Structure 1
Amino acid sequence: MDISDSLKYAENSLRDLLNFILSKQFGADWFYSCGVSDKRIEQWEERKNIDEKKFGYSDPRIIYYADFYDLKTILKKCWDKGFSDVFGKWKEIEVLLNILEELRNPDAHRRDLLPYQKHLAIGISGKIRAEITEYFSNMETGESYYPRIESVQDSLGNTWAIGERNPHDTSCILRPGDQIQFNVAGTDPKGDSLEYTVLPNALPYEFEWKNNGNFDLTIQNKHVGKKLWVAIAIKSPRDFHATSVVGLGKVDDVVKFGFEVLPPR
């Protein structure tokens, strides 16, 4: 994973954590109670509307249109709402976030990151993501051994983040020949490299394991049906895994996206 991906995944993991915890505290409109100004929220909504006009869709999670310093502000102001259970001490995560904020935009300093700064960025990003993953693992299973999928996004504008309902029925209608791109982020509390795959539930099963979470899926005639479930899975290189998926065998985590596929025109 390169520096930009590492920083992006850490930042998005924070966004998903904020959305998950605060929506439970304050409901779907939690951002009006999180300590940021109405002006900042208006700016997020403007960015969301720009995406809608430009691409025809936007991320339903408005926190994805917030700046990095907004995330720090929310975390600090809502620290007692459950975030200490994730990170422990505020002072520690504050220092780490300040370092990431300094490192995430080297262009502002007209220079590339030095080698030690690159390692620092990857290390801090990995620590934050691992702590968030461990929090969700402990909440659900009492374990922190298995890797977890953090987020999935497809090119149709559908998104899923850790803690949300799974399987995820997208309500999208496709036809043979359509192409979908998937971007998958996962993390392993043990720090091992992960393998990723995407598998539509149609015989014969066709899939490949990759060392990154970027996939292209072309819809075929065999996918036609009222509901095509696409399994997005990850696994570690270790001998033992958390679950099994038909067609894939042993994996550590899986998220399913559902689509309706109509016959060819």
Structure 2
Amino acid sequence: MALEPSESVAVFESALRSAIREVLPEWKTKLQSEAVEKLEEKQTTDEKKRDGAVASTDLLDYTETTQLTRLVESNWEKFKPVFQDLARLKVMFALVNDYRNPAQHNRVILPFERDLLSGGAQQVQNQVAIFRGTSGSETRYYPRIESATDQLGRSSVTPADIYSHPERPRLDVGDWVEVRASAVAARGFDLEWWIFSGGLMEGLATKTRLDRDPDATGSEVVLRYQMTAADVGEQRTVHVRMASTSKFHRSDWYDGHAFFHFAVNPPEDE
């Protein structure tokens, strides 16, 4: 099924960022200092403009298609195991770069252009997924959450910080938490997602698969959870779990876990 043009651009850029994180973690050193400074300026501007939201702190999220493709081309030896044929890849890069602006600005794109853009984006995504499946790393066997962001723009708390006590946004009973998440599958298995609330340790202690159908399926999902009276407290954590449909998993019954800390107010009409 062909993706919509804006979806194609998002898939393409996400796949390239995943490849860069995988094989070129030192990517900032490959850019001129002026380019890094511009990315930092973008991050600062984004942070100032987004009242009521938290801007990403990962500078790679502020790179655009042309920067991403240049990083791959100029560091080809690193990326050759991922994409294999530079000449063919350049054709794909040129295609996506040509159509990116019309797609992002909702200008008319003809059906054959949409199909070409969709095919190019999905090919690059598949190449990254296949590389991960043959690279010998754990991503060969288990899927990995690439990103998880709540409605405030906050990224998931990192595993190293899950026991910390960062500022906790305050919610009321009845408020919704929305998490947008993406993951890369492994070994051809589909992905299933759950969202639930509890104390941090309570959530970590959930060692068996939840006794309900998944809340979402696929590699790009939106998950929603509504706070209830049972969530009232100063230390409430919304948990996201991702699991492949394989019977084998990275940990217990799941392959990825994201965390978002909140405080939930008692009802005023108690």
The TM-score range, normalised by the shorter chain, is 0.7 to 0.9
> How do 1:60-139 and structure 2 match up within 5 A?
60-80=57-77, 82-106=78-102, 112-137=108-133, 138-139=135-136
Measured after TM superposition, the shift of residue 213 of structure 1 is 0.9
Identity of aligned residues (%): 19
Tell me what 2:45 maps to: 50
The 2-side partners of 1:121 and 1:155 are apart by 29
Gaps of 5+ in 1: none
Does the 8 Å CA contact 2:192/2:214 hold for their aligned counterparts? no
Measured after TM superposition, the shift of residue 261 of structure 1 is 3.6
Does the 8 Å CA contact 2:139/2:186 hold for their aligned counterparts? no
Does the 8 Å CA contact 1:13/1:129 hold for their aligned counterparts? yes
Measured after TM superposition, the shift of residue 133 of structure 1 is 2.6
The 1-side partners of 2:104 and 2:4 are apart by 19
2:221 counterpart of 1:213: yes
Does the 8 Å CA contact 1:199/1:207 hold for their aligned counterparts? no
Measured after TM superposition, the shift of residue 8 of structure 1 is 0.5
SS at match of 1:113: coil
In structure 2, the CA distance between the partners of 1:172 and 1:156, relative to structure 1 (3 Å rule), is farther
Q: What is the identity, as a one-letter code, of the residue corresponding to 2:48?
A: K
In structure 2, the CA distance between the partners of 1:63 and 1:176, relative to structure 1 (3 Å rule), is closer
Tell me what 2:205 maps to: none
Tell me what 1:233 maps to: 242
The 1-side partners of 2:57 and 2:105 are apart by 33
In structure 2, the CA distance between the partners of 1:77 and 1:241, relative to structure 1 (3 Å rule), is same
Q: What is the identity, as a one-letter code, of the residue corresponding to 1:44?
A: L
Q: What is the identity, as a one-letter code, of the residue corresponding to 2:222?
A: N
The 1-side partners of 2:167 and 2:228 are apart by 16
Tell me what 1:184 maps to: 181
In structure 2, the CA distance between the partners of 1:185 and 1:65, relative to structure 1 (3 Å rule), is same
In structure 2, the CA distance between the partners of 1:193 and 1:243, relative to structure 1 (3 Å rule), is closer
Measured after TM superposition, the shift of residue 201 of structure 1 is 4.5
SS at match of 1:156: coil
SS at match of 1:231: strand
Measured after TM superposition, the shift of residue 142 of structure 1 is 7.2
Does the 8 Å CA contact 1:149/1:185 hold for their aligned counterparts? yes
In structure 2, the CA distance between the partners of 1:258 and 1:182, relative to structure 1 (3 Å rule), is closer
Does the 8 Å CA contact 2:241/2:257 hold for their aligned counterparts? yes
Tell me what 2:11 maps to: 9
Does the 8 Å CA contact 2:215/2:223 hold for their aligned counterparts? no
Structure scoring higher RCO (CA < 8 A, sep ≥ 6) equals 2
The 2-side partners of 1:53 and 1:107 are apart by 26
The 2-side partners of 1:109 and 1:230 are apart by 35
Normalised by the size of structure 1, how large is the TM-score?
Answer: 0.72
